[in-house]
Structure 1
Amino acid sequence: MQRLLYFSIVLGLFIYALQACNWAGSEATEEKMPDQVSYNFHVRPILSDKCFACHGPDANKREAGLRLDIEEEAYKALKENPSAHAIVPFKPEASAVFLRITTTDSSQLMPPKSSNLPPLSAYEIDLIEKWIKQGAKYEKHWAFTPPVKSKVPEVKDEAWPINDIDRFVLATIEEKGMKPNEEAGKERLLKRVCLDLTGLPPTIEMMDKFLADNSSNAYENVVETLLKRPSYGEKMALHWLDVARYADSHGYQDDNYRSQWPWRDWVIHAFNKNLPYNKFITWQLAGDLMPNATKEQLLATGFNRNHKITEEGGVIDEEYRVEYVTDRTNTFGKALLAVTLECAHCHDHKYDPFSQREYYQVFAFFNNVKEKGIESTVGGPETYAKKPLMEISNDDVKNILSFVNKQDTDRLIVSVMGDRDTLRKTYLLNRGVYDAHGEEVEAGTAKSILAFDKKYDKNRLGLAKWLFDKENPLTSRVFVNQLWQQFFGRGIVKTAGDFGMQGELPSHPQLLDWLAVDFRDHGWDIKRLVKQIVTSATYRQSAVVSTDKLKKDPENKYLARAPRYRVPAETVRDVVLASSGLLVKTIGGPSVKPYQPPGLWEAASSGRGILAKYTQDHGENLYRRGMYTLIKRTVPPASMAIFDASSRDQCEIKRLNTNTPLQALVMLNNPTVLEASRVLAAKLLQENNPLEAKITRAFRLIVCRKPNEKEINLLSTYYNSQLKVYQDMAKAEKLLAVGEYPMPKQIDKTKLAAMMTVVSTIYNLEETITKT
């Protein structure tokens, strides 16, 4: 039966993938030629895919001296044939590029066969021909042009929009010949917004109150309530921990413990007090350089010390110090600018206008930290944080850092930023090799984004000011896109970590720019932006999808329906703990070690340090939120890894949305899920009400809606069948033995085992851990 079920699942996924491919293909064949061909949105993606590897920004790989990414280079006479030109505006028949992509001579055809790239399609050739006929006008890459607040578009259906976001979305939906979905039912909408804003399911009391409230502002009131809850900061922080590669171990072979969790507590605090985004980032980049810097601002700079650090004896100090600076540079580019800056580490970027020299100019901002590549080998608490560091005293916690959950009197130290008194020289590193010094460079940024003006100091604080300059085209767009991704499963720019030439084009470019400018002009207010998104009609839509919409828009790119996808790994755990009543809502503090399969750490450990052996926690620490589970980089928590949580090895902007058979095995066998099933079952049996009422309560707590009659009947029948199975007391006691939470003494174990299997079944419904 299990094999049959597994085969059915795999076959179903395979058929769905084939259908999706067919639909995507049919949509592509139906593409209409635009009236006005845009270089940015039509031509550049083709050139980037098929031409820029040999005729793009990388001078070292450039063929025939031809560069097609810059207007003047593409227009000038060819190096190998001065009488010819690659592109001649208005004249495709005189443009060598057009002739080479249309020739029937295989020795002349571009891209060449040796490139292993497919030839251009007929549609792509027609686009380039029309573009040249219209004057072959080049445009600066859309992401490197400062956003302008677009005019809010007019729409046909004036009744649907709630705020301006909806007008941009609806204009595109109508253009694509679709209509938006109706608003989701109140129960589904409440579950959705609770999971999105707090990572926790709504209580039955919340459900009843919302269902009974028929006022026009009932939903807005729920949003306001959720934004004020401490759990909001925890949910918002979860994404930032991925971005910041936060973990509880150093990450290399010995992978010993690090005490960086006070920085995580600060992130939660910052989101809860709604620290403006410009301050949130500036403190993390350069809190130590601010005038009269506070301990809170210094703690925030732990962001730049979350990278992997070695404690291996015998390593080359300078090699690893350079590795740390490289990590900070790459994280800066990916997290805050959404550009693949790391591609210029060894050579000029092959697709984007970033030279290797410019890479090391950014590198220079992070190259002056008072740190070593190897400071100390595995040992006691003094190695838990590496210099530069700050110590957090009990007095600090009472006064300045009250948000840090320091639970004992032990010494608490955190790695933070701190520059040397004298400037360390920075060199371009030939081929990226740590000791292959090329020319000396000064701190600076890529000119194609925004030149680093003399008005900025050449340090990290100056870099932060550059980042939030009104002329910086990326900062606001990038964060708005990341936030949009958290609520819709994909960003307006799908490649949220790459706004460059190889990244995807925005699905709603005018909306992205409108949001970016609006966010910036309203004081970088994160809660305001969150509220705008979740109160929109776009967000409130039903997730039901028709065959027609699935065919026209299989990825839900145009948002004519709400998305449907599995919640993050940590939220899976939180849903189970919260619905069963096991969740301990304590915020912050040292990370905890809940149940884990035995032997995992030991099999991958060098045998040194306090993380060589997994020592499971007990009591309340078994029931903390998923975000507080200790992350050992070399052996991340098994159940979370199966749900595709980040290992925190490096900056991660987006997790995979997956649904695999292994995840079903976790839900069926994980001790936390089974223990939660037992605990909730015991509570239900202690209530003086009929079986149907107990099942209804369990269903509402877990799935967050009332079950229908068929669901109640199925689960009731299942319960009665399980009563017969667990008349065998040995079977019942074996099932109930899971978990450390105490069992009520005076309880019928047969009934408890039967009810536990019913609750476990509800936990294993796809709907339970799916956002709909």
Structure 2
Amino acid sequence: MFPDGIQETLVALFPMTELMPPRQASGFHGIGRACLRMGLIPILRQISRFAMAVAMLAQTEAAEPAASGSLFSRAQTHWAFQPLSASVPGRGSDPASDESQVSPLDRFVERHLRAQGLSPSPQADAATRLRRMAIVLTGLPPTPEDLQAFVADHRPEATEIWLERYLASPAYGERWAQHWLDAAGYADSNGYFNADSDRPLAFRYRDYVIRSINQDKPFDRWIREQLAGDEMAGWKPGDPVTPEIRNLLEATHFLRNGQDGTGESDGNPDEVRVDRYYALEACQQIIGSSLLGLTVQCAKCHDHKFEPITQKDYYALQAFFYPAFPIEDWVKPNDRVIEAPLIGEHADWLAAERRWENGEAQARAALSCWMAEHQSPLKPLWEDSFDGLGSLGDRWSNTVPGEDQPAGSPPVSIGGSVGPAARVKEGVLQLIEGGGSGDRWLSTRPPFSWQPPLVGDWIQVTFDLVALKIEGQAQDSDRIGYVLAAHDFADRGTQSGGNLLIDGHPTGASTVHLDYPGADSKSIGSIGGQGYRAGHNYGVRIIRLEKDRFSLQHWVDGMADGKPLTLSASDLPPGGFAFELCCGRSFQVDQVRIQASPRAGTPEHERWLTYELALQTQVQERDRRLAVLKAQRLPKPGRIAWVSDVHPEPRPVPLLKRGNPKTPGEPVEPAFPGFLDRGQKLPAALPVPHGRTTGRRLAWAHWLTAPGTPQAALLARVTVNRIWQQCWGIGLVETSENLGLSGSPPTHPELLEWLAAEFVNSGWSLKHLHRQILGSRTFQQSSAPRAEAMSVDPSNRGLWRFPVHRLDAEGIRDLMIAASGVLDPKSSGPYVPTPRNGDGEVLAEESAPGARARSVFLQHRRTQVPTWLVNFDAPSLVFNCTRRARTTMPLQSLSLLNS
């Protein structure tokens, strides 16, 4: 595919470093300078990376698998894959110093500096040291009183006393939870590209992390809880719940932190299967980078080219977690929830919930009565009350207006009882989904014009959603789908627009999909904010804004809901109104009405305008009453988004050829990676008390943390390096996500080894590790530059001074709020919402409860990270983030000056 020497050619043209053109002379030197002048270097560098990868693949395709042979040989001696072996160096460089006063950490650093002809910097002043300690440990500045007291405290043990004070602060867990949540891939949404739906219970995992860190729970046990807490608890639904059991169940959310759009995926079976594998692989990738510090995902399609991980190793690892995420018996995110209240909690909540429901019903009933008494008549265009008069097929069809072929295969059976079917029963329309792939529509026979004639005019469609009472169907539909301007189901025409699908969810906004000729429909945004629940009237209103612009407004119980979406005239051709049957969407409706606004200039129009103005006053009063009631409402206790095996007997786990879900290969049994396991012969499954799960995750958790093993040593090194990174801005191993053969070597290998051993020997105590790091002279150095040291080690990798580095996004925001004296004391509970405002910014509304809470409590959606935090490199967490970028750009200064 490529001539010999392709790598050398590409490196000469576009080296991987940022230095352009390259220092060494070459025949391509002039080309490099020309590319630099034209600004093509970033683009060409990406091309070179891709070309090199393709060339390497072509050269190795028929060769011996890269993960065998030499890679395995190198792994046997690679520093990160060995059991822990630590020693302490001799006394420091000052002969007069008492060796007991110099920590082992300082001795390692001093020895490294002496080898470079350097020495440590002097100690920073007291105010700087306290501020540094407070910010690293708690993410908050010391109070002026604390600063004054510390500066005046000349006792030798003053630093130790204040260190313990900050370690005991609740803010310590909040700050260090933020770091772990990055690595664990935590977010408050599922992250699917069409509908980034909410994760309303994810906060329980965040609170569990904060509690565990503040309690200094042994890190090895903490990891076991997150991997297999349900199997450790020995609990099954219906059993009594203790606080410890609840902790263990909440911990398993770690395994579902990754993206999971399976609740929204509704394509063909192949697409659904891909989405399920994507969620399973996200779990696997987070485990690989956060716990093992390895790029395991690179072995999904073939043997890893740079690490001793075969493709079979990848799927053998997957086999440990497959029983919790079985592709064939998939459980959607919203269904992976249990009720586990403590004794007495449920009764208290039930009483409070009854008060809320009664008050809400009274407030809504009062408004409904007012609306019924005062509402002016609207212009009826079409309606169906399903009162049994005439045949359903006289008014509805399984084709759309203008087409002669059914809208879906198999088509909707009108009057049938076996899905897909639509029938009238007990005065309501039942829409019965029959499973299978694809969607199908039940459409009105007549078409309608969806473009109101004059500016300000509107047309609306509404229906009552009725509690489901269909034999063999669940009591609540996952989603509700209906279509405006339905005109071309088969997609044979060339007309753009139409087939406007409103995809309603049980919670949150509704997604809007628009059809395109010759292509699948695409999401164009969302409307509303209330989910779909039986007992309410739903629909949409289309309002003409100007000649070719229209507003699509979600409509709930006769009132606008949430922000509208703007459409063009081409989006709204004439067509029918249809209900969509797809993907488990069996639901029941009544009173379908299509209405229009009264004609402008008529008495009816004047009465309607008067009514609309008066309605706004009534709505405001209703909302005020509901807000008072809502503030007194209690969250349902014990609802936990967890992970557990679906069956006690595991399904076969196929090795996917080239990583393609469409081409499953031979089944793979769970097994530990050979380059770490080395014949330990630990079991791949452990007995579980209740016998309802496979015990595979519990076995893997115990294998990972088994004392004295290479894998436990790797976990300790990965964790210690990441903690060092958060204290210093950069890890002892710069590639904190990769400690494998292809990662960076440690700058201080003996120091890293000693810290890892100290971490394990202390009982895996994070607080003990922080005492060692922050109590050292190295950490307390001045950050002032020194000319002689800068000339030898300008990047300060030898630690001759404390590095100057910018705080992360959350740290900056929290410090500003704390320094202003308005920090909200919120320390747990549901997230603070961060909606997108009219200017396109994502932020907590100033009037919202908790708007000034710490950043860890803000809502973090994968596709909608708070704008201010994004400006300072907060990640979007496609998977997870073990090392944040740290950029410097003008927008950051502007954010600090005017935000």
Q: What's the TM-score once normalised by structure 2's chain length?
A: 0.56
Residue aligned with 1:195, SS: helix
Asked if the contact 1:390/1:414 (under 8 Å) is kept, the reply is: yes
1:388 aligns with 2:339: no
1:514 maps to 754
Q: CA deviation at 1:394?
A: 7.0
Asked if the contact 1:173/1:179 (under 8 Å) is kept, the reply is: yes
1:148 maps to 85
**Distance in 2, Cα, partners of 1:484 & 1:660:** 26
Asked if the contact 1:570/1:640 (under 8 Å) is kept, the reply is: yes
1:463 maps to 700
Instruction: Write out per-residue CA displacement over residues 444-483 of structure 1, whole angstroms, 9 at most, x where no aligned residue.
Output: 1211122474432331111111111221241111111111
Instruction: Write out per-residue CA displacement over residues 503-562 of structure 1, whole angstroms, 9 at most, x where no aligned residue.
Output: 100111111111111211221111111111100111111111123322322222110100
1:536 maps to 776
Amino acid at match of 1:455: L
Residue aligned with 1:258, SS: coil
| Mapping of residues 561-576 of structure 1, within 5 Å | 561-576=801-816
Residue aligned with 1:386, SS: helix
| Mapping of residues 248-647 of structure 1, within 5 Å | 248-252=188-192, 253-259=194-200, 260-293=202-235, 294-310=245-261, 311-315=263-267, 316-369=271-324, 386-391=334-339, 393=341, 395=343, 408-411=633-636, 413-419=639-645, 420-451=647-678, 453-458=680-685, 459-469=696-706, 470-471=708-709, 472=711, 473-593=713-833, 597-600=837-840, 616=845, 618-647=847-876
Asked if the contact 1:55/1:69 (under 8 Å) is kept, the reply is: no
Instruction: Write out per-residue CA displacement over residues 555-595 of structure 1, whole angstroms, 9 at most, x where no aligned residue.
Output: 22110100111111111111111111100122011111368
**Distance in 1, Cα, partners of 2:338 & 2:72:** 52
- Compared CA separation, residues 245 and 155, structure 1 to 2 (3 A): same
Asked if the contact 2:300/2:658 (under 8 Å) is kept, the reply is: yes
Amino acid at match of 1:423: P
| Mapping of residues 71-86 of structure 1, within 5 Å | none
**Distance in 2, Cα, partners of 1:375 & 1:601:** 36
Asked if the contact 2:67/2:304 (under 8 Å) is kept, the reply is: no
| Mapping of residues 161-180 of structure 1, within 5 Å | 162-180=102-120
Q: CA deviation at 1:388?
A: 2.6
Asked if the contact 1:594/1:621 (under 8 Å) is kept, the reply is: no
Gaps of 5+ in 2: 1-17, 25-48, 236-244, 348-630, 686-695
**Distance in 2, Cα, partners of 1:396 & 1:222:** 40
- Compared CA separation, residues 392 and 617, structure 1 to 2 (3 A): farther
Q: CA deviation at 1:186?
A: 0.7
After TM superposition, the structure 1 stretch with the greater mean CA deviation from structure 2, 64-73 or 479-488, is 64-73
Amino acid at match of 2:198: Y
1:711 maps to none
Q: CA deviation at 1:373?
A: 9.0
- Compared CA separation, residues 652 and 462, structure 1 to 2 (3 A): same
Amino acid at match of 1:167: R
**Distance in 1, Cα, partners of 2:668 & 2:344:** 40
Asked if the contact 1:54/1:63 (under 8 Å) is kept, the reply is: no
Q: CA deviation at 1:292?
A: 2.9
Residue aligned with 1:428, SS: strand
Gaps of 5+ in 1: 1-19, 27-48, 75-136, 377-382, 400-405, 603-613, 671-772
- Compared CA separation, residues 321 and 579, structure 1 to 2 (3 A): same
- Compared CA separation, residues 303 and 494, structure 1 to 2 (3 A): same
Q: Looking at both structures, which has the greater relative contact order when contacts are Cα pairs under 8 Å and sequence separation is at least 6?
A: 2
**Distance in 2, Cα, partners of 1:191 & 1:392:** 42
- Compared CA separation, residues 506 and 226, structure 1 to 2 (3 A): same
- Compared CA separation, residues 352 and 371, structure 1 to 2 (3 A): closer
Asked if the contact 2:316/2:668 (under 8 Å) is kept, the reply is: yes
Amino acid at match of 2:658: R
Residue aligned with 1:225, SS: helix
Instruction: Write out per-residue CA displacement over residues 362-397 of structure 1, whole angstroms, 9 at most, x where no aligned residue.
Output: 011111115679989xxxxxx9x5333223547587
Instruction: Write out per-residue CA displacement over residues 611-634 of structure 1, whole angstroms, 9 at most, x where no aligned residue.
Output: xxx883625422101111111211
Q: CA deviation at 1:658?
A: 2.3
1:661 aligns with 2:890: yes
Amino acid at match of 2:339: E
Asked if the contact 1:317/1:373 (under 8 Å) is kept, the reply is: no
2:161 maps to 221
Residue aligned with 1:347, SS: coil
Q: CA deviation at 1:409?
A: 2.4
**Distance in 1, Cα, partners of 2:749 & 2:287:** 24
**Distance in 2, Cα, partners of 1:147 & 1:59:** 39
Q: CA deviation at 1:151?
A: 3.7
Which of 865, 870, 881 is the aligned partner of 1:652? 881
Amino acid at match of 2:722: Q
- Compared CA separation, residues 396 and 580, structure 1 to 2 (3 A): farther
Asked if the contact 1:250/1:309 (under 8 Å) is kept, the reply is: yes
Asked if the contact 1:317/1:372 (under 8 Å) is kept, the reply is: no
**Distance in 1, Cα, partners of 2:346 & 2:126:** 43
**Distance in 1, Cα, partners of 2:130 & 2:344:** 39
Amino acid at match of 1:488: W
Q: CA deviation at 1:139?
A: 6.4
Amino acid at match of 1:533: I
**Distance in 2, Cα, partners of 1:143 & 1:69:** 18
**Distance in 2, Cα, partners of 1:617 & 1:549:** 48
**Distance in 1, Cα, partners of 2:780 & 2:83:** 31
Residue aligned with 2:877, SS: coil
The structure whose Rg is larger is 2
Q: Number of residues paired by the alignment?
A: 540
1:231 aligns with 2:171: yes
| Mapping of residues 7-26 of structure 1, within 5 Å | none
Amino acid at match of 1:414: I
**Distance in 2, Cα, partners of 1:424 & 1:138:** 32
Asked if the contact 2:300/2:659 (under 8 Å) is kept, the reply is: yes
Q: CA deviation at 1:240?
A: 0.8
- Compared CA separation, residues 64 and 438, structure 1 to 2 (3 A): closer
- Compared CA separation, residues 369 and 183, structure 1 to 2 (3 A): same
**Distance in 2, Cα, partners of 1:374 & 1:554:** 56
Asked if the contact 1:583/1:625 (under 8 Å) is kept, the reply is: yes
CA RMSD of aligned residues (A): 3.4
Residue aligned with 1:623, SS: coil
- Compared CA separation, residues 361 and 183, structure 1 to 2 (3 A): same
Amino acid at match of 1:326: E
Asked if the contact 1:343/1:349 (under 8 Å) is kept, the reply is: yes
Amino acid at match of 2:699: G
- Larger proportion of strand: 2
Asked if the contact 2:822/2:852 (under 8 Å) is kept, the reply is: yes
